[in-house]
Structure formats: structure tokens, C-alpha cells
């Protein structure tokens, strides 16, 4: 999960990280890597959790995946 310090909202409003603003108004990126079928199955649940926002699905090429040595 990535927290943004500034983002451009759907209503043409710039959202910024500031002490005076509530943290719920900041941009947020959540990345999930899985099969397309599993992500498609998750979308209805995710849609119900979102009040607003943007969902994109992109193909990725995993170059390297190595579990932590302690696993």
C-alpha cells in the first residue's frame, strides 16, 4: 500500500498532505498481484468497500520472486 502526499481528485480538486486535513482525504494506492480470475472475483467486494476512487487492472510481468530467507 502506498500513501500519497498529493493527488488530483475526480472532482478536479487537488488533495494534499497537511496537518489541517483529515488523513482519509489523501490519495492511496493498493497493488495486488494475482491471477486475473482471482482479482475479478474480488472486485464486487472491493467495489462495496469503496466510497469513491479508481480501480485499474494491468498485466504485469514478474521478473523475480524470492521469499524471505527466514520463510
Residue 59 lies in a domain: no
15 within 8 A of 9, measured Cβ to Cβ: yes
Residue 9 lies in a domain: yes
1 within 8 A of 30, measured Cβ to Cβ: yes
In tens, the pLDDT along 22-64 reads 555 556 778 888 999 999 999 999 889 888 788 889 998 989 9
How many domains does the chain contain in total? 1
Residue 68 lies in a domain: no
- Residue 6 structural domain: 2-49
Distance of CA 64 to the CA centre of its chain: 22
pTM, two decimal places? 0.54
Amino acid at each position: 500500500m502506498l500513501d500519497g502526499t498529493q493527488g488530483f481528485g475526480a472532482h478536479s480538486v487537488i488533495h494534499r498532505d497537511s496537518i489541517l486535513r483529515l488523513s482519509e482525504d489523501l490519495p492511496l494506492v493498493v497493488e495486488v498481484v494475482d491471477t486475473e480470475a482471482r482479482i475479478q472475483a474480488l472486485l464486487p467486494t472491493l467495489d462495496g468497500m469503496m466510497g469513491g476512487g479508481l480501480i485499474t487492472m494491468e498485466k504485469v510481468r514478474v521478473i523475480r520472486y524470492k521469499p524471505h530467507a527466514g520463510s
